[in-house]
Structure 1
Amino acid sequence: MSKYLLVALFCLFVLPWCVAQKFSSTSGRAIKAYEAGVEAYRSRQPEKAIDAYEKAVSRDPQFWEAHLALGNTYELLFDTTQAIPHWIVVTELGGDDRRVSATLHKLGMYYLRTKQIDLAKTQFEAFLNMTTQVGKLKPEVEKGLAQIEFILEAKANPVEFEPILLPIILNGFDLQYFPVLNVLQNQLIYTGRVTNHSQEDEDIYISVQTPAGWSEPKSISPNINTPLQNEGTCTISADGRTLIFTSCQRSDVIGSCDLYVSYKRGDEWSAPINMGRRINTKAWETQPTLSADGRTLYFVSRRRGGYGNADIWVSRLQTDNTWGYPENLGPTINTPEDDLSPFIHVNAQTLYFASKGHLGLGGFDIFKSELSDKGWTQPENLGYPINDESDQQALFITADGLRAFFSKSTRTQSQGLQSRLYTFELPELARVAVPSTYVYGKVLDAETGRPVGGWVDLIDLETDSVLGKVRSDPITGEYLMVLNSGTEYGLFAQSKGYLYNSLTFNYEHQPNPEPIQQDIFLEPLENGKAVVMNNVFFDSDSYALRNKSKTELNLAISILRDNPDVRVEIAGHTDDVGPEAYNQELSLNRARSVYNYLIEKGVPRQRLRFRGYGEGQPLFANDSEAHRQANRRIEFVIYR
């Protein structure tokens, strides 16, 4: 310890207990030894001071001021175990002296740290019963009592928790931690160290699930892992094509640890790029977690402007493809203590994180908060024994919100530090409020079947707001988009030189929707090519456009704006229910409604026409409700 720090600590903590001239002891020899101890400490000789204080209490065991000085000196030398018996004497003999309340606080905090809950409660309650409290300590005492009550309540009402060790092939290193999965749950990525030696390299590993089980973990990519630099604590987008990770030793590092991003094309990861000075500072940035579409990033930083030492921040990808300035998540999430290990569920609404500052069982506990119209809800502790008196650092939650993955560390004399990967089924109260599913497949050229790289947008049709935006892989055509229950969606795929295509998913009344595999075919922007406007809606037997149709109609307008030589026919079709003449008129009026909307929004009349085809051009035989629904449609047809 620095001699200057020792002197400062002495002046702050010891001298206030030594300045009183009246003592509880009447033994001159004890008082003389005590004063010698004070003088020794003033001379920066704490060990000599301890010897003198020990003489004082041996000459008068009831001399509680000497016990106080002795206990506090042991504390400043980081030997709290030796301090405890002397502090106990102070609380027994010191009466209502104000210094006793500070000692009760010290004892209570020690017992709470060492999991001696009943003893901690006794000290804290005794503090509150004193009339001569050290007032600035009262909030911490009250918080300690609240924590004790929480611990007792949590242990009296444990949640279901049955962790299962992942297969040995995934736990082959001394240390593996911070597991994440893609949404399909067929790729597990984690940070690993082959041995627990302090100089062992930290790398990112991947294992793929096959019909035979999980594959042997391997380095995620030579473009990402390096021989002499550590790479770890990563996050991956839902489609498995954007990876952000932490590295502390690269040549272009800005602070002590920075965040880097890599993108996957086909089977290859790009060379990592430092995320720049908006994200990274000269402080410490780590533990990233990405939204499903890879466009919102939560991470931990010790930068200035937070509420504690380590806070959780968020940044969003801008329209110019740069990351925006990070925003602190605010005091509902962040506390004066450390708040770490954020995980944003693919529903983009549920945040799990670790905190020392929120009410818990001791150390870091895992909490859950939901994003509402008013911001983040008050975090909820996941309960005992998911949380216990040791540190819980991070969880990964599957899209359906039913399972969690985590790592657990142990230390033994024979093996040293070990860390293993586990999974467990989440109890009901720990699950997400809005479970998710996903649609995945390929974007393909409708004529050649070749992969197409393009944008896939997910739109909330009720609010016309973009909920997700991903690019299909230009090499494989693969895309994946997460869908939440309780919402009606439009999914729109588009690429330069092609007509757009749209899908519709109504999950308003489906609490647990199943995943969907759906390839999307794009027609070349050529004469005679058509697309069904799947997200244009009318009420039954009506030709008035419903408000949620405007998303697709506005997309059609943008296609026309970007391709000024294209002319389009709006074609209306019906099923065969009802009189043929009625269906003919209904199809014409519906086509006219779309035509009028486009005209009102500025599309020149000479570029548009509308036709009604009634029931005469069905896509399918009208032999089921599903087929009849498909036949009731508006088409967007290119003509020259």
Structure 2
Amino acid sequence: MNYYNKIFLIIALVFSASIAYSQSKKDSIEQVLDSIYPKTIVAEISSDEFTEYAPSISANGRIMIFESNQNGLWNLYLTRFEDGKWIDEVPIDSVNMAADSNDVISGPNFSYDGNRIYFHASFDGGYGAEDIYFSERVGDNWTEPENMGPEINSSSFDGFPTISTDGKTLYFTRNSKNIPEGINEFCYEIYASQKTDSGWSEPEVLPYPVNLGCEKAPKIMADNRTLIFASLREGGIGGFDLYQTRLNEDGDWVKPVPLEYVNTTDDDLFSSISASGDLMYFSKRNDIYSVEIPQEFRQFQNVTLQGVIRDADSKEGLSASIRITDANTSEIITSFDNNPSDGFYSIVLSAGRAYNLEVRKEDYSSALYYYDLRDIESYQEYEQNIDLFTTAHLNVNIYDIELYDPLKSTITVKNTSGRTVDIVESDGQNWKTRVDLPIGNAYTVEVESENFKSKSFSIDLTGLILYRVYEEDIELIPEKIGVPINVNDLLSGGSVSSSTLIIRNKTRNEEIVISGNQTINLRVGDRYMVEASSDRGYAFNSTEIEISDQGKLQTIDESTGEIKEDSKGVELKLQPLAKDANLTLKDIYFESNKSDLFESSFEELDRVIKLMKSYPTMKIEIAAHTDDIGAAAYNVRLSKQRANSVISYITSNGIEEDRLISQGYGESKPVVPNDSEENRAKNRRVELKILDIQLAQND
């Protein structure tokens, strides 16, 4: 049943009753309205012996404040809605105790986020008879009252405050200057003041048709466009009745309409509606009542957005600046700070628009959310907890630009003034190294790794910081020097043009294959095994080299075994493959006084295997030699066993046994006198002798 059908029914019922007196008519109208719009006393709050008055409900509908004289004084009380009823009624002592026995505290109204209470009181030290004050929530407690100041309060009465959800407009009442004739009530007019960057504007009285001279207890609804107030005016049922007006698109207040669903012959005052817009609480007959709001009287559809802003690490509540803008026009809808004690915030947004929610706090990150409410058709609540952080996590991924291996590095962080704020070491095992950077500064980050070219980058953590984790890939370029490598014929000394070089980096996982007789750039600080070979009738040869941290080439003299600290290049001599040619195998090691090969010997033996596979007609003798330590017979036997161990490894890798012969010569064929430990080491050797080979014509 729409509004006009209901009014027609009411009028018809009244006339059909043939009531003779005006008051009887009003009583009958009230009875009819009560039958259509039943009103329910809030039994958990209301009592027979005391007055409960001026309810105000938070936007989420879960907290109510009201005034009562239950202790003989007009005090404020708070109650919570849980499991379908109002419970835990408690006095707001910090406010109540500011009054003496003659003071009045009245007209409380919540801010829509539930973090502030506005009310009027006659405390000493005010600007007028009664001033408007506010108290802020600190956890479960409330601060001592604070006067709104002379921008709002005058030398007369200022009271019944109510504030818009965006915090921009404060509505309140002052003593009326235009009391209608014949009215003996306390009459007021409704004023509004706008919040500016410099404070509150000069209050202005709302124009006709809102103010007619005897208004009271305004309440701005969650949509910031609907105003409900009590008024004594022609056409009312009796006493103060509740009326509703709205701002139209031109910014003008439309003609107020009586709220027939709530008005009675008593004084009906102090409407309070949660953001859902479906239930009204109000005062009449010294008690608090509730009534369901008919659809045609409901506000524009709203959405309540609430949650806690907190520190991302400690999870403690934070105070931050919140700004709501129109997502399409960037118009600022509202800006405010949330509750500093626990970080709670609550925002009421009107449906039909898209919004951006921005949260900022100095030295913290920011937050930005988008809400599209253009198609919302019913009241909704969104829970949005917001975590802000003081440090960003910078993940620096440091790796070798050529090999993609992680690098052990030093990460130095400096601020804009050049002061070092942190030094972090990467372990060289993982690519990712985390650096924590305080929000609110810009930084230069320098990455250094030994024997690599350093690299730096900047990161700016000022302004709107939305993300906590940042990634930066750092590819470091190795320092290198050019190393000439020549491959020559052992006998003629001439260059072997067909040679191939395999250069294995023993410091890191790197292998380079090139043709011989050229200059190759090698890494500073690394050790290499250089192997030369040729498929044109040559054996292989190998040597180890190292590039010092100072960029100097270190080589081993093949004839003396001495390390040359500042070589100008590498020369490898290849033995031509011919019958009776000898090749000393390098790095063949056995356990002490045993014939078991060390694994480090396999690399050189694998070269032998590769050579024999390349020349399938080649037969060889593996000869093992010892120094002169120990009995000669023992040394012969030991060297024979070691030669057999070498042959066993070779044959186990695909070479036929009939192509190999083992010999153990003991100490009988030294290459140098056994007169020093260095010489004895040279005599402990394994040699390869070619017994037979048939080379192809192009070899």
- TM class by shorter-chain length? 0.5 to 0.7
Q: Name the counterpart of 1:392.
A: 268
User: CA contact under 8 A between 2:389 and 2:468: conserved in structure 1?
Assistant: no
Provide runs of 4+ in structure 1 moved above 4 Å. 116-121, 150-159, 303-309, 606-609, 634-640
Q: 2 CA distance for matches of 1:388 and 1:213?
A: 25
Instruction: Give the match's secondary structure for 2:93.
Output: coil
What letter corresponds to residue 274 of structure 2 in structure 1? T
Deviations 1:57-115 (A, max 9, x none): xxxxxxxxxxxxxxxxxxxxxxxxxxxxxxxxxxxxxxxxxxxxxxxxxxxxxxxxxxx
Q: 2 CA distance for matches of 1:636 and 1:473?
A: 24
Give how far 1:247 is off: 0.8
1:299 matched to 2:176: no
Q: Please, which runs of 5 or more residues in structure 1 have no aligned partner? A: 1-115, 122-147, 410-418, 530-561, 569-605, 610-633
Q: How many residues align?
A: 389
Instruction: Give the match's secondary structure for 2:296.
Output: helix
What letter corresponds to residue 294 of structure 2 in structure 1? P
What letter corresponds to residue 364 of structure 2 in structure 1? Y
1:232 matched to 2:109: no
Structure 2 CA distance for partners of 1:489 and 1:171, relative to 1, 3 Å: farther
Q: Name the counterpart of 2:81.
A: 209
Q: Name the counterpart of 1:458.
A: 324
User: CA contact under 8 A between 2:392 and 2:468: conserved in structure 1?
Assistant: no
Give runs of aligned pairs for residues 234-633 of structure 1, distance below 5 A: 234-248=108-122, 250-302=123-175, 310-320=188-198, 322-335=199-212, 337-357=213-233, 359-384=235-260, 386-409=262-285, 419-432=286-299, 434-524=300-390, 526=392, 528=394, 565=442
What letter corresponds to residue 387 of structure 1 in structure 2? N
Q: 1 CA distance for matches of 2:50 and 2:284?
A: 12
What letter corresponds to residue 232 of structure 1 in structure 2? S
1:160 matched to 2:36: yes
What letter corresponds to residue 461 of structure 1 in structure 2? A
Q: Name the counterpart of 1:184.
A: 60
Deviations 1:393-450 (A, max 9, x none): 23111211111001211xxxxxxxxx11111101123221x12221111112233433
Instruction: Give the match's secondary structure for 1:217.
Output: strand
Larger CA Rg, structure 1 vs 2: 2
Structure 2 CA distance for partners of 1:422 and 1:303, relative to 1, 3 Å: closer
Deviations 1:498-523 (A, max 9, x none): 22111111110112142011111223
Q: 1 CA distance for matches of 2:179 and 2:302?
A: 32
1:222 matched to 2:94: yes
User: CA contact under 8 A between 1:566 and 1:639: conserved in structure 2?
Assistant: no
User: CA contact under 8 A between 1:488 and 1:505: conserved in structure 2?
Assistant: yes
Aligned-CA RMSD value: 3.7
User: CA contact under 8 A between 1:154 and 1:383: conserved in structure 2?
Assistant: no
Structure 2 CA distance for partners of 1:169 and 1:368, relative to 1, 3 Å: closer
User: CA contact under 8 A between 1:461 and 1:489: conserved in structure 2?
Assistant: yes
Instruction: Give the match's secondary structure for 1:222.
Output: helix
Q: Please, which runs of 5 or more residues in structure 2 have no aligned partner? A: 1-17, 182-186, 396-438, 446-457, 473-699
Instruction: Give the match's secondary structure for 1:479.
Output: strand
Identity %: 22
Deviations 1:471-522 (A, max 9, x none): 2333312111112111111111110012211111111011214201111122
Give how far 1:370 is off: 1.2
Instruction: Give the match's secondary structure for 2:109.
Output: strand
Give how far 1:352 is off: 0.5
Q: 1 CA distance for matches of 2:180 and 2:469?
A: 57
What letter corresponds to residue 500 of structure 1 in structure 2? S
Instruction: Give the match's secondary structure for 2:263.
Output: coil
User: CA contact under 8 A between 2:179 and 2:214: conserved in structure 1?
Assistant: no
Q: 1 CA distance for matches of 2:85 and 2:280?
A: 19
Structure 2 CA distance for partners of 1:259 and 1:293, relative to 1, 3 Å: same
Give how far 1:357 is off: 3.3
Q: 1 CA distance for matches of 2:223 and 2:443?
A: 38
Give how far 1:360 is off: 3.1
Give how far 1:158 is off: 8.6
What letter corresponds to residue 399 of structure 1 in structure 2? A
Q: Which structure: greater strand fraction?
A: 2
Q: 2 CA distance for matches of 1:166 and 1:454?
A: 37
Instruction: Give the match's secondary structure for 1:429.
Output: helix
Structure 2 CA distance for partners of 1:498 and 1:160, relative to 1, 3 Å: same
TM-score where L is the length of structure 2: 0.50
User: CA contact under 8 A between 1:382 and 1:429: conserved in structure 2?
Assistant: no
Q: Which structure: greater helix fraction?
A: 1
Structure 2 CA distance for partners of 1:421 and 1:306, relative to 1, 3 Å: closer
User: CA contact under 8 A between 1:186 and 1:208: conserved in structure 2?
Assistant: yes
User: CA contact under 8 A between 1:193 and 1:201: conserved in structure 2?
Assistant: yes
Give how far 1:162 is off: 0.7
Q: 1 CA distance for matches of 2:255 and 2:443?
A: 53
Q: 2 CA distance for matches of 1:468 and 1:330?
A: 25
What letter corresponds to residue 206 of structure 1 in structure 2? L
